[in-house]
Amino acid sequence: MLIKPKSVLIVGGGTAGWMTANSLLNVWPDVKISLVESEDIGVIGVGEGATPYLKQYFKQLGIAEKDWMPECDATYKLGISFEGWSGSHLAKSYFHPFFSVLDKPVAEMFFHNCGLRRRGIEAPVAPDEYFVAAQLTNQKVDPTACLKHSLDIDYAYHFDSVKLGIYLRNRAVKLGLTHVIDNVQDVKLDKNGDIVDVSTQQHGCLTADHFIDCTGFSSRLINKALKRESRSYSDTLFNNAAVAIQTQYTNESSIKPQTRSIALNAGWMWNIPLTTRQGNGYVYSDGHISSDQAETELRQALNIQDDANVKVRHLNMRIGRLNEHWHKNCLAVGLSQGFIEPLEATALMLTQLTIDQFVQSFASQETDLITAQNSYNQKLNQVFDGIHDYIVAHYQLTKRQDTDYWRDNKYNLVKPKILSEILYAWDNGLDVEKVLSRHKNNLVYLRPSWYCILAGMGRFPQNLKHSTQVADVEQARKYCKDVTNKYFLS
């Protein structure tokens, strides 16, 4: 087994830094954990949607929803509504749900009908009809209501990311973490390339056995000091900037437990409902519009006058991932290790996975550090690339061609290899499950997600025949309503 470090210094106090701190305090109570963060630089302050993975995070730490959710203005999230992505001749939106055991019977009907539609047979294939989470979302149902029936389904959260950082910071400090507020100015390496210490403005040199780089996009340790290289995703994903505006509710009763992702002229806009306000932002390609144009378009979408006094934040995004997330005695976690645009809100899931797998490496039988690091880095790269492929699918599958941005997405982006294989099988009546299964180690999204995006974006032949083999969508609708009433509303 690898020898666990006796002391760990986390550099950076964004969500990644504080999630890492709490995880390590939980699994390594005998290790001295410290965190240094800069008040001058601050945190990125966006990133308010999650995947169901985050539910597991709080569970692992024994943090109850009633304790953290009110402190972070958090709401439940049952999936993402994609609006305006599919093109004018199709449904205006489709829902990518979080799946649950309740979906099994109706999911099979969905797969069956998609199979017919791929062969040119008329069949209802809107994903929203076949998954219970879509029904729960439409009825604005509390997903925890089914606990009284001894049923626990997957769901995620929306939250105020700054408040979540503060909540996790207070908890970590209470558990004994040493917290330093200072700017890291330099990183000293020994002759082997390991980090010896980081020097700060006011606290001198801070040393540890192991260092964790949570410095966000600046990647101060792993990239600037250890010179680890990245794989850019810029040939497959155009979006590299964002503008964010928070708004107050005008009609709270219309809010559903979902993130909305609304396609705009040169990217897409998120809308995230919190208990006290909404988070909104436009993720766009600065090669297609300027930051001023993006802000104007976002203001228009939100119905905010140009002269209205709202706080607007412009952000640049570095899209890609490190080749080595763990190198020498340094691990990169969070934006410092990479970022795929937030279309499926996967960044915190990657953060968790990065920490969990790191800790597990010390519990495995492997004794050689380099071998452990190589296998760790390979695994993380597979997950990053797997998510990347699913994100790219949105841009390859959209039927939109109304601006240069959407046309460029359609025709001028490199197509990832596995995605091309999936699309080829889907379009040519081949066994898609076989392709998904062949690539299972490289895919993060499974069959239901692939069917939802392919059907949601309308990837089917246009001329349709009628058939009697169609699964009855009325039956699916009735099933989703019945389980909602049985498990959540009674």
Ligand X SMILES: Cc1cc2nc3c(=O)[nH]c(=O)nc-3n(C[C@H](O)[C@H](O)[C@H](O)COP(=O)(O)OP(=O)(O)OC[C@H]3O[C@@H](n4cnc5c(N)ncnc54)[C@H](O)[C@@H]3O)c2cc1C
Whether residue 280 contacts residue 246, with contact meaning beta carbons closer than 8 Å, is answered with yes
Diameter over CA atoms, the chain: 76
| 230 lines the binding site for ligand X (CB under 6 A) | no
What DSSP string runs through 351-362? HHHHHHHHHHHT
User: Residue 210 forms beta bridges with which residues?
Assistant: 8
Query: Of these, 48, 73, 83, 160, which contacts ligand X (CB under 6 A)?
Result: 48
77 is catalytic: yes
21, 177, 348, 392: which one binds ligand X (CB under 6 A)? 348
Single residue of 102, 317, 372, 476 touching ligand X by CB under 6 A: 317
* Minimal CB distance residue for ligand X: 14
Task: Tell the burial category of 340 from Cβ atoms under 10 Å away from its Cβ (0-12, 13-18, 19+).
Answer: buried
Q: Nearest-5° angle of CA 410, CA 415, CA 419?
A: 110
Q: How far apart are the C-alpha atoms of 112 and 288, rounded to whole Å?
A: 40
CB of 212 to ligand X, least distance (A): 11
Nearest in space to 314 (alpha carbons), one of 286, 272, 354, 333 = 286
**Which residues are registered as beta bridge partners of 312?**
245
Residue 39 vs 307, nearer CB to ligand X: 39
- 473 near ligand X, judged by CB under 6 A: no
27 binds ligand X (CB under 6 A): no
Q: Which range of residues in 148-156, 221-229, 332-340, 355-363 is near ligand X by CB under 6 A?
A: 332-340
- Asked if 448 interacts with ligand X (CB under 6 A), we say no
Applying CB under 6 A, among 55, 77, 220, 459 the residue interacting with ligand X is 220
Tell me the C-alpha distance between 462 and 64, whole Å. 49
Asked if residue 46 lies in contact with residue 339, where contact means CB atoms within 8 angstroms, the answer is no
Q: Which residues contact 379 (CB under 8 A, 6 or more apart)?
A: 357
Q: Is 199 in the site for ligand X (CB under 6 A)?
A: no
Q: Does 342 bind ligand X (CB under 6 A)?
A: yes
Phi-psi region of 67 (alpha: psi -120 to 50; beta: other; left: phi over 0): alpha
Residue 16 sits in the site that holds ligand X (CB under 6 A): yes
Alpha carbon distance 282, 269 (integer Å): 4
Q: How many residues bind ligand X (CB under 6 A)?
A: 39
* CA atoms lying within 13 Å on the CB side of residue 52: 13
Contact between 162 and ligand X per CB under 6 A: no
Q: Is residue 262 close enough to count as binding ligand X by CB under 6 A?
A: no
Q: Using CB under 6 A, pick the residue from 5, 10, 12, 280 that binds ligand X.
A: 12
Q: How many other C-beta atoms are found inside a 10 Å radius of the C-beta of residue 162?
A: 18
Q: Does 44 bind ligand X (CB under 6 A)?
A: yes
- Is residue 388 within 8 Å of residue 446, measured between CB atoms? no
Q: Does 264 bind ligand X (CB under 6 A)?
A: no
Which distant-in-sequence residues (6+ apart) come within 8 Å of 225 by Cβ? 187, 189, 195
Q: Which is nearer to ligand X, 38 or 81 (CB)?
A: 38
Q: CB-wise, 150 or 202, nearer to ligand X?
A: 202
Place of tokens 């040393």: 207
In the complex with ligand X, which residue's Cβ is closer, 348 or 473? 348
Set 6, 59, 77, 227: catalytic member: 77
In the window 71-90, what residues touch ligand X (CB under 6 A)? none
Single out the residue of 21, 264, 347, 418 in contact with ligand X (rule: CB under 6 A). 347
Angle of helix 104-118 versus helix 447-456 axis, rounded to 10: 50
Among 2, 31, 32, 41, binds ligand X (CB under 6 A): 41
Torsional sign, CA 11, 17, 18, 23: negative
**Part of the chain binding ligand X (CB under 6 A), chosen from 33-41, 85-93, 168-176, 285-293:** 33-41
Q: Is there binding between residue 278 and ligand X (CB under 6 A)?
A: no
Q: How far is the CB of 451 from ligand X (least distance, A)?
A: 24
Residue 168 binds ligand X, judged by CB under 6 A: no
Q: Does 21 bind ligand X (CB under 6 A)?
A: no
Which positions lie near ligand X, rule CB under 6 A?
Answer: 11-17, 36-38, 41-44, 46-50, 161, 183-184, 214-216, 218, 220, 242, 281, 283, 315, 317, 334-336, 342, 345, 347-348
Q: Which residues are catalytic?
A: 77
